[in-house]
Every structure is written in C-alpha cells, then in structure tokens.
Structure 1
Amino acid sequence: MDRLESVILFLIDQTSKTAKRFTQRELDKKGWDITIDQWVLLKIVEESNGLSQNELAEKSSRDGASITRSLDILEKKHYLERKATPEDRRQYKISLTPEGQAFIAKNMSLVNKHRAKSLEGFSSEEIKSLKEMLLRIQKNMS
C-alpha cells in the first residue's frame, strides 16, 4: 500500500494548499485585504459577467453558504453587485462594479507573477501535459 505522501490526490491537495498559502501571504504583504477565494470569485465574475449565485458556486466548486459570505464581503468593498432578476426576485445576477474592475486590472500583474513562479522550470510541453492530466483526473472523478 502506498504511503499517503505518494498518493497523487493527496499531492494535488497539498500543492493547492501550498499555492494558496504562498499567494495569501503575498496578498497580505501588499495590503489587498482580500482572500484567495474572494479573488477567484472576482475573476470568475469578470470572465462570466451576469452569473447567478448558483452558477458562481458551481464554477468555483464552493458551497452556497460560503459563496454568500464572500459575496457579502465583496459587495461591502464595492467590488461587485447583485441585482435581482426580473423573472425571479429570489435570484440575483452578479457583476463587477467599476471598483472591482479597477481592482482586478491593478493587481493582475502580481497574480500573473505568482502563476509564472509556480511553473518555473517546466517546459511548455510539461505544462500542457500537466493540464491534460489534471483535467483527466477531474473527468475521472466527476
């Protein structure tokens, strides 16, 4: 039987946690006053403007309650807004505010630096293969 430290799914989880800790430390040093999970939500909203809360939860792989808390915080910071849909007042469409758009634009270069750091020493072919393997694992597990 494999030791836990050599199990691929455990290694993926540990890698994800290491990356989050590293990036959160860097964000805190820069005074962003935002969590990695909140940043991810902002980016998803930017890329898919007008999502419902359920769609955002699905795209981010987070539960509804944690999405609600994060959206409340991001709304208080004036980074996004929720607007009731005319056909169902219980459902909201989520979009970035001008402040949210400016926040992303201002800080995207730092995020890109962290992404590049995580892939230092990998060739283009290795990165392509890694993406394909990770997507295959996701498909196998869904």
Structure 2
Amino acid sequence: MKDEYVVNRAICQCMFGTMPGFLKVTDNQTVCMNGKLVATDKTLGNVFEGVGFAQCNKSYPPKPCTPVVTGWIGAYDGVSINGISSPLLGTCKGTCALGCPNCITFQTTGQIAIPGVPQVKQAALCLQADINPLGGNPLED
C-alpha cells in the first residue's frame, strides 16, 4: 500500500475517532485512477463522507466528529496534479485542526474495491463459497 496513490473513498482512521471514515476528494475533479478521483495534498477541510470518524475522543466528553484536515505530509512530489498539487500516497498522514499533527492515516488507498452486501448477493452462486468459505456451497444443498 505504501506505493499506491490514494483515490476517492479511501478508508481513513483518526487516532481520536471511534470509526473509520471514507475520504471524499473535493479539490481534483479531472484526474482519475482506476475510475476514481485522485486525492492530493490540496484535499483539505471536511473531506470525509457522513459523520467523519463518528465520535472525537480528543475532548471530554466525546463529541461528534467534524474533521477539518489542515494538511498532509508524505505526498509524492514527483507528479503534479493540475499543476498545483501532488498526489497522496498510502503512507501519507493528515493533520486535523481538532486533533493533533499526523493523527489521520489510511487503512486502504481506495484503489481495490471492497465488496459489500449488495455485491455478494449479486455474485454467482458458484462463487459464493469462495467469497464466504464458512457459509457452505449452495450448489451442494
């Protein structure tokens, strides 16, 4: 993951949050990779879908998370996106205005789709045992 570019819907984690969050690319609307917008060092502000990281444990009592990314470290300087920004890598760390420096990390880069319930339901019956080996093979029933 360290050499992968980060794209839209990458899974992030904040050290003060109670749940992972999905990155929402807002600055770059033209450059895509594997059909998804590339995240850059200018992907700043509240750039997470929904409730961010659920609850923020930085304050007492914990409050709903409203992340505000103020910067990223570790962006790849060898490539320029739209002439003004650099793409983020899976090893980049983000700083939240409410947290501390480098408190946001990536769990996935978003390049590989993670199947959810709808995708599993649509999978062919012969593949279901490969997806969930403990569920048994529906063709043997």
Report if TM-score (shorter chain) is over 0.5: no
Structure number with the higher helix fraction is 1
| TM-score under structure 1 length normalisation | 0.25
Greater relative CO, 1 or 2 (CA 8 Å, sep 6+): 2
| TM-score under structure 2 length normalisation | 0.25
Structure number with the higher strand fraction is 2
